[in-house]
Amino acid sequence: MLLVRRFEERCVELYSAGEVRGFVHLCIGEEAVPVGVLEALTSDDAVVSTYREHGHALARGIPAESVMAEMLGRVTGCSRGRGGSMHLFDASRRFYGGHAIVAGGLPVAAGLALADRMRGDERVTCCFFGDGAMAEGEFHETANLAALWGLPLVLACENNLYAMGTPLAREHAVTDLALRAASYGMAAWPVDGMDVLAVEKAARRAAGAVRAGGGPHFLELRTYRFRAHSMYDPDRYRERSEIERWKARDPLRVLGDRMRAEDGFGDEDLDALERDVAAELDRAVERARAAGEEPVEDLLRFVTGPPREGP
Over residues 46-58, mean pLDDT: 98
pLDDT at 167: 96
| CB contact set of 303 (below 8 Å; sequence gap of 6+) | none
Q: Which 3 state secondary structure label does DSSP give 287?
A: helix
Which among 99, 86, 93 is positioned nearest to 128, based on CA atoms?
A: 99
Does 309 score more than 70 pLDDT? Answer: no
How buried is residue 56: exposed, middle or buried, by Cβ count under 10 Å (0-12/13-18/19+)?
A: buried
Please say whether the beta carbons of 210 and 124 come within 8 A. yes
Q: For the chain, how big is the Rg over CA atoms in Å?
A: 20
φ/ψ of 166, rounded to 5, equals: -95, 120
What is this structure's pTM?
0.94
The pLDDT of residue 310 is: 56
Second CATH level (architecture) for the domain 2-291: 3-Layer(aba) Sandwich (3.40)
Average pLDDT of the residues of the chain: 95
- Going 71 to 72 to 76 to 79, the CA torsion angle's sign is positive
Instruction: Please answer whether residues 181 and 220 qualify as being in contact, where contact means their C-beta atoms are separated by less than 8 angstroms.
Output: yes
In the chain, what percentage of residues exceed pLDDT 90?
A: 93
Query: What sign does the CA torsion over 302, 306, 307, 311 have?
Result: negative
Angle between helices 196-211 and 32-39 in degrees, nearest 10? 40
What pLDDT score does 311 carry? 55
**What confidence tens digit (pLDDT) does each residue in 173-224 have?**
999 999 999 999 999 999 999 999 999 999 999 999 999 999 999 999 999 9
| Residue 197 β-bridge partners | none
